[in-house]
């Protein structure tokens, strides 16, 4: 599976951006697709994830109500709609894919180490 992220850019605080992650290769029912971000000098952190089947979504608390993750199975694409952006949202955003085990714990999808495939990252800069 290869992932291609796009849609980053420079936006003023309060603005919106939509990130896209196009996947090539076979995405099966047990995949979770995630978005992570990494700001300068900080560790990579979980932002949002969605199950490929069922569309169950998970979010970082600080982006709930502002960000929406969605998918288009026919296009093998995952989106991250980001509204009401804040300067603290500035980071390189990465999409990732994970072929999950048959069962997993509640916080599994938040751990970057669990993800098998990563896109190249797209920079989001929010000016104040």
Over the stretch 65-96, which tens digit does the pLDDT of each residue have? 999 999 999 999 999 999 999 999 999 999 99
The pLDDT, as a whole number, for residue 102 is 81
* Alpha carbons 41 and 63: distance in angstroms, whole number: 20
> Given a cut of 90, is residue 58 above it in pLDDT?
yes
The pLDDT, as a whole number, for residue 69 is 98
| Residue indicated by tokens 């560790």 | 43
Q: How much is the CA Rg of the chain, to the nearest whole Å?
A: 14
For 91, how many CA atoms within 13 A lie in the half-sphere containing its CB? Answer: 21
In this prediction, residue 37 has a pLDDT band, given cuts at 50, 70 and 90, of very high
The pLDDT, as a whole number, for residue 105 is 83
What phi and psi, each to the nearest 5 degrees, are found at residue 35? -120, 130
Average pLDDT over residues 30-55: 95
């Amino acid at each position: 599976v290869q992932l291609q992220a796009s849609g980053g850019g420079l936006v003023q605080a309060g603005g919106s951006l939509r990130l896209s992650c196009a996947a090539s290769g076979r995405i099966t029912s047990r995949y979770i697709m995630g978005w992570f971000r990494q700001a300068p000098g900080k560790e990579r952190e979980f932002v949002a994830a969605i199950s490929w089947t069922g569309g169950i979504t998970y979010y970082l608390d600080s982006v709930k109500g502002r960000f929406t993750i969605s998918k288009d199975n026919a296009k093998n694409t995952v989106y991250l709609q980001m509204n009401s952006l804040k300067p603290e949202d500035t980071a390189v955003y990465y999409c990732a894919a994970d072929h999950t085990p048959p069962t997993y714990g509640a916080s599994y999808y938040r751990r970057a180490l669990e993800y098998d495939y990563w896109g190249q990252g797209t920079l989001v800069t929010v000016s104040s």
